[in-house]
Structure 1
C-alpha cells in the first residue's frame, strides 16, 4: 500500500481540507492519506478551536486514514522547525509522497527557489541578520533577503512567491525533505476560492479556517459556519459545544495566562522559549495593567514583534515551555497515533516493521520527554477550556485510545 502525507492543523476541519485530502490521494495515486496534525496548540501560537481528538475524528471521517500528532516543540515553532518536524514524521511513516496546498499550485517554482537560496548561501543568511538588526520582523527580513536574491538571480523560470503563507510553508516542507535526503515526492495543489486569511462569505462553500473562527466568535453560534464544513465535522463541533464551556481562543484562556505571567515575574519569564530582548518586562507590565486579552496585546504589539511571534511566546508561557526544555527536543523520536480508519490499520500492519520511528498508541506505555510535554500541554489546554473548573478534562491523553473508524 502507498501513502500520501499531508501536514495539517484542521482548526477546524472544513470543506477546503476535505478537498485537499481527496486530491492528495488522487494526485499521488495513494491508497491512504496520512496526516501529521498539530496538537492542542498551533503554529501561529494559538489554542486550538477544539482539542486534537475532536479534530482527528473530523479528519478520519472525511478522507484521512491515519492521524499522527506533531509534537508540541514543532507544532508551536516557526515555519522551518514546524516543517522539519512534520516532514521527518511523514518520512518515518514511509510515505511515498507529501502533498501541500499552495498559492502557486505547481512544484517547479519551489524547486527553483530552493536552488536560488542554495546558490545565495551565506549572503542570504547575512542579509536576513542585517535586516533583523535594523528592526524588521523575522518574516519581513526573510522576504527582503529572498527578494534581493531573486532580483540578482540568473535562474530561468518563475520563482515561488514567498510572501504568501502557504507558499512559505510549502517551501520549508521541500527544504526539510531535501535536507534529510527523503525519497518522498513533493506534490502541491492550488488553494481554491478562499485564501489563508479570507473571511467566510455566505453562499460560498469554501472558507479559510481563520474566516470560520472569526465568523463563529463574532456570532457565538455554529449556525454561521454550517455551509463551510462537512456535516460530520459540524456534528463534532456541536458535540464539543454540548460537553465544554467554550471553544479555544486567547480571550478564553487569558485569565489563566495573566495569572501565570504575574506569578512568574520577569526573571522567570526570561527563561521561556522565544522570550527575548527584555520583552519579559513589557509582558509583565501589560498583564498587570489589562484585564482583557485585547488590551494586553495592544500594549505589547510593535513593529518588531509580529502578532504570531508574540502569541508563540504566550503559548510557551502558558505551558511552561522553556529554552532548556526545547533544547532537548531537536528531532521527533516517535509516531504518536491519534486515530486511523480500517484502511489506515491495514497500512500500519503492512509497514510496521519498516517504520523509522516507534509507533505509540498508548501514552502510558512509552516514556519520552517530548511525549510527556505533549500530555502536559493537553492538560493545560483542558484547564483553559474548562476555566480551571471541575469540567476541565485533566489526564485525557492517558485515558484516550486512538480513534478507529471502520
Structure 2
C-alpha cells in the first residue's frame, strides 16, 4: 500500500487542508494518507482552537486515513525539532512520500536544498557567526547567509511553512530511504493573512481571528461544513484563557526555580518576573517581554514550558523513547497499520495505561492543562480510545 504522509496542525481544519490532501494524494499516487498531527498545543506555542480529538476526526472526514499524534516534546518546538520528530514518526511508519504546504510560489527543489545543507553545514555555521549581532532578527540573518552561499536559490526564512518545508527536507535526507517530496503552494492566502477575501480559501490565522470575533458569516465559505459546525458548537480556546494560570506560576516561583524550566536561558526569567505584574493580558505581557533574541513565538513556547513545568530530562526522554500514539483511523488506515506492524520499531499506543503513562507524561499534562480552561469536561488522554470511522 503506497502511502503519503502529511505533517499538520489543522487549527482548525479548513478548505486549504482539504485541497492539500487531495492534491498530495493525486501527485504521490498514494493509496493511504497518514497525518502526523500536533496535539492540544502547537508548534508556535499556542493552544489549539479545539481539541486534538475533534481535529483528528475532521481529518478522517476529509481524506486522511490514519492520524498519529506528534508528542508534545516535538510538537511545541522550533522548526528543526518539530521536523525531526515528524519525519522520525513517518519514517518509522514506512511512508514512501511526504507532502507539505509551502508559502513559496517560485521554483525550489527542497531535496537539492537539503543536499546543499548537508554538504555545507560548516560553511553555513561560519557565515552565520560572522553576521550575528548585526541588528537583524534570526530569520533575517539566515536569509542573508543563504543569499551569500547559495545565490541561485531564493530562500526566505521569514516564511513559516517554507521554513518547515526546509526542515522536513533536511531531516528526510538523513534517513536510509528518504521519502519523495511533494511541496504544494498555498491557495489564495498567505500564512499570516488576517483578512478573508472572496473565495473558498483563507489562512488559519484569519479564520481563528474571525471565530474569536464570532464573524460566522465571513468564514462559512472557507471551511468544510463539519468544521464550521464544530467551531460553533464547542468552546474555542486561546492563550488569554491561560493568562491567570501563567501569572500565578510566574508570581510564586523564584528566579532560581524558573531556571530549571526547559529552554529558560540567558536570564530571560528575570524579564518574565519583572513584567508579569505589570501586564494586563497575555498579549500585553509578551509585548513587554519580547526582544530581538526572544521572539513572540519563542516566548509563547517558553510560557507553555512554565505552565507544564517541563524539564530538559523529560524532553530528552521522549526524544530517546519515541512512540506512535494513534488518535484516529478508518478501515484503510487500520489495514495499513496491520501490514506495517512487523516492521515498526516504535511502540504503538492506543490507550494510556500504567505501562506507558510515564512515557506519555508530557502529553498527559498538556491535556490536563488544556482541560483546565474548558467549560466542557472531556478527558483528553485517560480512558479515551482512538476514533474509528
* Range into which the TM-score falls when normalised by the shorter chain: over 0.9
Instruction: Give the superposition deviation at 1:108.
Output: 5.1
How has the CA–CA distance of structure 1 residues 365 and 90 changed in structure 2, closer, same or farther, with 3 Å as cutoff?
Answer: farther
Aligned to 1:208: 203
Correspondence for 2:125 = 125
> Deviation per CA, 1:13-61, whole angstroms, max 9, x where unpaired?
0000000111111111111110000011110011111111111011111
What is the aligned counterpart of 2:256 among 232, 252, 267?
A: 267
- Deviations 1:300-350 (Å, cap 9, x if unpaired)? 122222111111111111111122322333246211000011211121122
Q: Once structures 1 and 2 are overlaid, which stretch shifts more, 320-329 or 16-25?
A: 320-329
- Per the alignment, do residues 331 and 237 of structure 1 end up closer, same or farther by CA in structure 2, a change over 3 Å counting? farther
| Structure 2 residue aligned with 1:230 | 224
**Which residue matches 2:237?**
248
Query: Paired residue for 1:348, among 337, 346, 356?
Result: 337
Structure 1: 5+ residue stretches without partners: 152-156, 242-246
Deviation at 1:362, TM superposition (A): 1.1
Q: Tell me how far apart the structure 2 counterparts of residues 27 and 46 of structure 1 sit (CA, whole Å).
A: 32
Residue correspondence of structure 1 range 271-290 to structure 2 within 5 A: 271-290=260-279
Any idea what the Cα deviations from partners look like across 1:116-165, whole Å, max 9, x if unmatched? 333433121133344445565433332232222124xxxxx545444422
> CA, structure 1 residues 318+118, in 2 after alignment: closer, same or farther (shift >3 Å)?
same
TM-score scaled by length of structure 1: 0.90
SS of residue paired to 1:37: strand
Does the Cα contact within 8 Å between 2:115 and 2:173 map onto a contact in 1? no
Residue 361 of structure 2: aligned partner = 372
Q: How does 1:293-372 map to 2 (within 5 A)?
A: 293-331=282-320, 333-364=322-353, 366-367=355-356, 369-372=358-361
SS in 2 for 1:294: helix
CA distance in 2, matches of 1:261, 1:171: 35
1:79 aligns with 2:63: no
Shift of 1:66: 0.5
For 1:331 and 1:128, how far apart are their aligned partners in 2?
29
C-alpha distance in structure 2 between counterparts of 1:6 and 1:21, whole Å: 8
* Equivalent residue pairs, number: 389
Question: Are 1:269 and 1:275, in contact at CA under 8 Å, matched by a contact in 2?
Answer: yes
Structure 1 residue 195 and structure 2 residue 190: aligned? yes
Q: Which residue of 2 aligns with 1:244?
A: none
In 2, Cα distance between the equivalents of 1:294 and 1:161? 27
Q: Residue 277 of structure 2 aligns to a residue in which SS?
A: helix
1:48-63 to 2 correspondences below 5 Å: 48-63=48-63
Q: After alignment, is 293-302 or 3-12 more displaced?
A: 293-302
The 2-side partners of 1:382 and 1:286 are apart by: 27
Which TM-score applies when normalising by structure 2?
0.93
RMSD: 2.1
Match of 2:23? 23
Bigger Cα displacement from structure 2, 141-150 vs 126-135: 126-135
Map 1:86-125; keep pairs closer than 5 Å: 86-104=86-104, 109-125=109-125
The match for 2:163 among 160, 163, 168 is: 168
Moved more, 222-231 or 60-69: 222-231
Q: Does the aligned pair in 1 maintain the 2:35–2:66 contact within 8 Å?
A: yes
